[in-house]
Homo-oligomer: A and B are copies of this chain.
Amino acid sequence: MSDLKQLREDLRHFAAERDWDRYHSPKNLAIALSVEAAELLEPFQWLSEHDSARLPSGDRARVEEEIADVLLYLVRLADKLDVDLVAAAMRKMQLNAAKYPIEKVRGKSTKYTNL
């Protein structure tokens, strides 16, 4: 089983054991994901871009936990909506590659994505 499928199974089991499935509407999970993403952003907010690559070690541990939280809620939300996470990401990368041809965008920031 792939890593993400394993996480998906573990999360199903975790929720079932606690009878927490009832709270896991897509709406609530999308809120929780967004809140976690903001918590992940928080330690970077006053750092320069340069310093953001060199987090103090206390912040680093926290950032790892927030990254984990974002992934867990994302896996859970995708499961509830029956979305294949990796397939969706592969498809999006192909869309991006078509939308931003190398020769046109090389070295230039686009407005809404750089991915």
- Indicate if the CB atoms of B47 and A63 lie closer than 8 Å: no
Residues of B within 8 A of A39 (CB): 38
Interface residue SS majority, chain A: helix
Question: By CB atoms of chain B within 10 A, which of A27, A76, A100, A112 has the most?
Answer: A27
A66, chain B: closest CB distance, angstroms: 9
Report the separation of the CA atoms of residues A11 and B71 in the bound assembly, to the nearest whole angstrom.
17
A74 to chain B: closest residue by CB: B70
A39, chain B: closest CB distance, angstroms: 7
Beyond A18-B100, A18-B105: 12 further Cβ-contacts under 8 Å?
A2-B2, A14-B97, A18-B114, A34-B37, A46-B109, A65-B95, A67-B78, A68-B91, A69-B92, A72-B92, A73-B115, A76-B115
